[in-house]
Amino acid sequence: MPSTPLRTDPPAHGAQPVTGLRERKKAKTRASIRSHALHLFKEQGYAETTVEQIAAAAEVSPSTFFRYFATKDETVLDDLIDADTFRIMVAAPVELNPIEAMQYAVNRTFARMTDEMLDLEITRNALIQSVPELRKGVMAEINRPIELLTEAIAIRLGRPTDDPDLRLYAGAAVGALMTLTQARDEPRAAMTSLGELIGRLDRVLHLPPA
């Protein structure tokens, strides 16, 4: 919390905030720590990897590690919920119903990803599935996607964002989706077939009219 922020971060719109020279190094450090952390986790396991090791691998001090990531699990869980996907959902063709719009957005998100991004996602997902502590962390933030989904549906349907039925519907959708993805054994399948899984939601969900 700087006292006189002469040049703070731009309001975080869709466009890239014109990288400000010094901040590039920070982004690089952050990415480096994250990357080294994930590699180490994959090689030695999550619990077996200490923050000290990660810091050493990324060539920073442990102090610095904690300046970039508040907790060890943040290296895995950060950015997990992709706000972009919900933005795509909002912008999906109007004739799609909410569930179809979700499918559209998810499929499109996967299509946008490069192979290495997909690999990263899969690694991450495998970690989350296998390490209880990480699974815990994901669940803890379950409200975020519910919130985002509520909002996305509200915008699409021109309904108020605080419509209780919408929130209820979104909560049910996320809950159902959660059970669907967790039922899968292989992490790869759960991820790539996400679009298909969403299609099953309308078997049990029903959106009450405004």
- Residue 43 binds DNA (CB under 7 A): no
Q: How far apart are CA 48 and CA 181, in angstroms?
A: 27
| Sole residue written with tokens 């590039």 | 24
Rounded to a whole number of angstroms, the minimum distance from the CB of residue 169 to a second copy is: 5
- Using CB distances below 5 to 8 A depending on partner kind, what does residue 64 bind out of DNA, a second copy, none? DNA
By CB under 8 A, name the binding residues for a second copy: 132, 135-137, 139-140, 142-143, 146, 165, 167-180, 182-183, 200-201, 203-208
- Tell me which of 15, 18, 25, 95 binds DNA, using CB under 7 A: 25
Q: Do residues 64 and 54 lie in contact, with contact meaning Cβ atoms separated by under 8 Å?
A: no
Three-state DSSP class for 15? Answer: coil
Taking the C-alpha atoms of residue 34 and residue 55, their distance in angstroms, rounded to an integer, is 10
> With respect to DNA, which residue has the nearer C-beta, 72 or 167?
72
Cβ distance to a second copy smaller for residue 58 or 150:
150
Q: Which is nearer to DNA, 21 or 111 (CB)?
A: 21
Answer for the pair 23, 50: CB distance below 8 angstroms, yes or no: no
- Residue 56: burial class (beta carbons within 10 Å; 0-12, 13-18, 19+): middle
Under the criterion CB under 7 A, does residue 141 sit at the interface with DNA?
no
Distance (Å, rounded) from C-alpha 189 to C-alpha 122? Answer: 10
Three-point CA angle 31, 32, 38, nearest 5°: 90
The verdict on 7 binding DNA (CB under 7 A) reads: yes
Number of residues that bind DNA (CB under 7 A): 29
Only segment of 48-56, 113-121, 169-177, 186-194 that touches DNA (CB under 7 A)? 48-56
Interface stretch with DNA, choices 5-13, 90-98, 105-113, 180-188 (CB under 7 A): 5-13
- Give the largest Cα separation in the chain, rounded: 56
User: Does 64 interact with DNA (rule: CB under 7 A)?
Assistant: yes
